[in-house]
Amino acid sequence: MLTDYHTHTERGPYTVEWLENFLNVAKLRRIEEYGVSEHAYRFKQTAHLLDNPWTRERRTEDLDDYFAMVQSARKAGHHIKFGIELDYIPGTENALAEFIRSYPFDYVIGSVHWLGDFGFDLSEMKSQWLTRDLKQTYSEYFTILNQMVETQLFDLVGHADVIKVFGYEPDDPAFLQDWYDRMAESFSRNHAVIEISTAGLRKPVGKLYPAPRFLEACYKQEIPIVINSDAHRPEDVGADYDQAIASAKSTGYTEIVTFTNHQRILQPLV
């Protein structure tokens, strides 16, 4: 089985007609189970979870409209899973838990995009990388990611080393391996699922998430996986899955996870 649980339809209206552009590509690429997971910061219902000038300008949508699109698609005969991608900000755990319970999500992706007021993967803030200490920034990222995982609020860890998005990576394999091993152990303790994401291949870094050695560390800890595209356009659904599948299989994986109502089921990786 192949799935794609991490796609965003937000560049168009929340209608079945727009969603079908994504579903048609998924079908062509033999993806058997498809799920949408919009960025939560876009919805007025999440203003209390993440609020800064950047998100405030983009908080223009209603989550009820998004959910209504999923319900309409299901009524039209489409097999679609309902998800959301939540930014983890330390200190918001209780509010996150309450929000997650407020909608019938099949799965919730937890991700880290903000280190304080530094949106490290935003092109508008890319210049800040030039004055940052790489090891310190990576350590800050992985520390927050670990805090996120320890909450056990999320069904899926999104793009676990997205911190490398612009290609700024510490030239210290031992430093990175230490974090990979520590995170893999944390994933194991907290019963996490991670994704192999092809989105990094379309970013300046030009690499899959997570790095091969990171994925190997996760495999040694028996961390389950999904394969996702993090598509924001219909043509990116299932993009570069051949590379993701090859990475998974060469590491040793033979199964992926599917989700229904927060329940996980292992399926053979085809």
The pLDDT value recorded for residue 12 is 95
pLDDT one-digit tens code per residue, 176-220? 999 999 999 999 999 999 999 999 999 999 999 999 999 999 999
* Domain range for 175: 3-268
How confident is the model over 225-230, as a mean pLDDT?
A: 98
The pLDDT value recorded for residue 70 is 98
Give the CATH number of the domain where residue 159 resides.
Answer: 3.20.20.140
Domain count, the chain: 1
Rounded to whole angstroms, the Cα distance separating 187 from 254 reads 19
- Determine the angle formed by the axes of helices 134-151 and 173-189, rounding to 10 degrees: 10
Residue 270 has pLDDT above 90, yes or no: no
pLDDT one-digit tens code per residue, 124-172? 999 999 999 999 999 999 999 999 999 999 999 999 999 999 999 999 9
Tokens of 154: 């999320």
Percentage with pLDDT > 70 across the chain: 100
